[in-house]
Amino acid sequence: MSGGDPKSGNGGGDLSERLRRLDEKLDAREAEELRTRSATPPDAADKSGFTRGLKLSGDFVGGVVAGFGVGWVFDKLTGWSPWGLIVFILLGFAAGVLNVLRSVGAVPHFGERKK
């Protein structure tokens, strides 16, 4: 049996040749991956995550600031200070949380059906 049957265990030379070819293929693939990684910026995923975080925090803070502004104007017009401010800040907080939930897809937008 000079054919190097893998089941019989007589293929020692053939096995080392196959291992050498496998090592060459793995080295070539590793070199290709290094070239593709260097072609794309390494922090592209970090930038997209950072951008998403800024958008979510902006949605939340925007709701609270808008609630503060409306509450302050409401108090100045009606003289019911601090009740308008308190109520509208709470409404702004709720609107900010709702905006964040809509941005991440946990709650559908108004008039939109969840798939």
59-114 per-position pLDDT tens digit: 999 999 999 999 999 999 999 889 999 999 999 999 999 999 998 888 887 776 65
Predicted TM-score (pTM) of the model is: 0.56
Q: What is the pLDDT of residues 24-67, one digit of tens each?
A: 999 999 888 888 776 656 566 667 888 999 999 999 999 999 99
75 touches 84 (CB < 8 A): yes
- Amino acid, res. 66: A
For residue 115, pLDDT beyond 60:
no
99 touches 63 (CB < 8 A): yes
User: Which has the closest alpha carbon to 98: 68, 60, 48?
Assistant: 60
